[in-house]
Amino acid sequence: MVPVLKIKGLSRSAARQALKDGEVTVAVYGLGKMGLPLALVLAEVGAKVVGVDIREDYVDELNRGVNPLREEPGVDDLLAKHLETGRFRATTNGVEASKKSDVIIALVPTLVDEFGIPNLTPLYDVVEVAAKGLEEGDIFILESTVPPGTSEKLGKRLEELSGLKMGEDFGVAHAPERTSSGRVIRDITESYPKIVGASDPETLESVVGFYEAVNKKGVIAVSSLAAAEAVKVFEGVYRDVNIALANELALYAEVMNIDVWEVIKAANTQPYCHIHNPGAGVGGHCIPVYPYFLIHTAGLNGLDMRILKVARRVNEEMPLHVAWLVVKALNELSRPVKGSRVLVLGFAYRPRVKEHMNTPAIPIVRRLEELGAQVYVYDPVYESEELKDMGFKPWAGEPVDVVVIVTEYDEFRDLILKRREGLKAAKALVDTRNLVGREEAERASYFFLKLGDGT
C-alpha cells in the first residue's frame, strides 16, 4: 500500500475531514509517555497509525496489547480498541512506516547533557530514517520540545537526505506537545489549544486542519517554526524562573523569621500575582531542561540569558539547602550526621507519577550519604527492588531519626502524624512541601523544620 494522499496542499477543512475519514496514514516516531498516547488518539480520531520505536521487545509487547503506561488514564482502552480496529500497530521498521505515511510525527525525548548542551541525537536519528520514506506531499511534524531553530535544521537535513525541497515538495511543521504525565490524553484532546508553526503557508493550513480534528480547544497558528518552538520553551521557562523566585523568597523567609507559605498565599489574593510554591528542587524532563535550550541558542548568538541562568542555579542548589535543613534538625537532636538514620519521603519529582529524572530526592540522599548518614527512601509508586537497583536503600519500616518530605503525597501525613512503622521514635521532621502544619507536627512531638519558614 503506497499512500496516494498528498496532505500538503489540502485545505484546512479537507485535512480535518481526511483525518476523520481514515484517509490519512500517520507514522509516530517515539512511543514513550507522550508519543504512545498521541498515536492512540490519532487512531481514535480516524487515522491509520504506525507507531515506531527502536525497542524491539517494547514494540512486540505493544502489538500483543501489553500497555506500558498503566498509570496513564485512557491508554488501556484505546490500545485494546485500536489493535482490534487495526488502526494502530507498532513497528521497529521506521523506513517502512515513513514510506506508508502521509504525515510523519516525531515525538522523541530531547534533553541536555551535563554541560547544558541540548542533545538532539534521537531526533536526527528519526530524520535519518524518516527521510528514506519521505515523498512529495508529505508533512513532517515535530512534536518534541526543542531549542528554537531546530525544526528548520531538521527540515534542511530532510532536504539533503531526500533530495526534495522543504516548503515546496514536502512540509515541515512544529506542533509542540503540551502535556503532563498522568493526564496526557486529556491534554492532547481538550486542555489547551494546539500551537502550530510551519515551513510554508500551505503546510500551515493543512496542519491546522489536522489538529483541529484532534483538539477541542482549537489551534493557534503562529508565524514561523521558530515562533512555535519558542512558545513551548517559554512556557517552561516561565515556570522555572517563577519556582526559582519562590525558592529565593523561601530562603529570605527563613532568615527573616517569617513563613513564606503564609505570605505567598496572602500575596496571591492580588489577582495579578501568581507567586509559585517553593520546594526541594525542580525535577522532570521539561522544566529543568528547557531553560538550557534558550541559554544555549542565545549564547551562540552572543546573548547572555542572565535571569534564566541564575534561576537554574537557585533551583539546582535547593536540594543542598534541604540537606542543610536535615543537618540542622540532627544538630538540634545533638546527633552527628554520621550514623543517623534519615527517611526521604518521595522519590518521584511529582506525586503519583513514576518519574525521577532530575528529582531533587537524589542529590538530597547523596549529600547526606557523603557525611555517613544512613538514608532510606520511600515512594508509594516505586517498588523496593527498583530503588535498590538504582543504588538506594528502600525503606521497609526501619526506625529512623529524621523524616524529610520531598514529594507531596497526601498519605505521608498519616504515616508521619500517626507515627506508623518505623516512625515511632523519629524525633525530627523536615517538610519541604508544606504538607504538615507546625502545630500538628509539634503536637506529634516532632522537632519541626519547614522549608521557607523561619518562624
Summarize as ranges the residues that interact with a copy of itself (CB under 8 A).
Answer: 148-149, 178, 192-193, 195, 220, 222-224, 226-228, 230-232, 234-235, 237-239, 241-242, 244-245, 248-249, 251-253, 255-260, 262-264, 266-267, 269-275, 294, 297-298, 301-303, 305-308, 310-311, 313-314, 455
CA atoms within 13 A on the CB side of 217: 13
Tell me whether residue 32 or residue 149 sits nearer to a copy of itself (CB atom): 149
Cβ 218 to a copy of itself shortest distance, Å: 10
Rounded Cα gap, residues 176 and 144, in angstroms: 6
Tell me whether residue 53 or residue 240 sits nearer to a copy of itself (CB atom): 240
Give the residue among 271, 282, 215, 216 at the shortest CA–CA distance from 243: 282
CA atoms within 13 A on the CB side of 322: 35
Cβ 351 to a copy of itself shortest distance, Å: 17
Tell me whether residue 5 or residue 227 sits nearer to a copy of itself (CB atom): 227
Residue 232 appears among annotated catalytic residues? yes
Cβ 150 to a copy of itself shortest distance, Å: 12
The three cell numbers of residue 454 are 523561619
Give the residue among 402, 411, 354 at the shortest CA–CA distance from 71: 354
Tell me whether residue 165 or residue 274 sits nearer to a copy of itself (CB atom): 274
Cβ 266 to a copy of itself shortest distance, Å: 5
Question: How far is CA 154 from each of CA 194, 289, 300, 391, rounded to the nearest angstrom?
Answer: 21, 20, 18, 38
Name the DSSP class of 47.
-
Rounded Cα gap, residues 435 and 411, in angstroms: 10
Cβ 257 to a copy of itself shortest distance, Å: 7
Tell me whether residue 193 or residue 336 sits nearer to a copy of itself (CB atom): 193
Q: What angle do CA 370, 376, 381 make, to 5 degrees?
A: 130
- Candidate list 286, 354, 393, 450, residue with the active-site label: 286
Rounded Cα gap, residues 133 and 29, in angstroms: 13
Residue 273 appears among annotated catalytic residues? no
CB atoms within 10 A of CB 418: 10
- Candidate list 8, 99, 100, 232, residue with the active-site label: 232
Cβ-Cβ contacts under 8 Å for 41 (sequence gap 6 or more): 78, 185, 188, 189, 214
Cβ 436 to a copy of itself shortest distance, Å: 17
Give the residue among 31, 37, 42, 36 at the shortest CA–CA distance from 7: 42
Rounded Cα gap, residues 111 and 144, in angstroms: 10
Orientation of helix 12-20 relative to helix 35-45, angle to 10°: 90
Tell me whether residue 86 or residue 271 sits nearer to a copy of itself (CB atom): 271
Residues with a known catalytic role: 232, 286
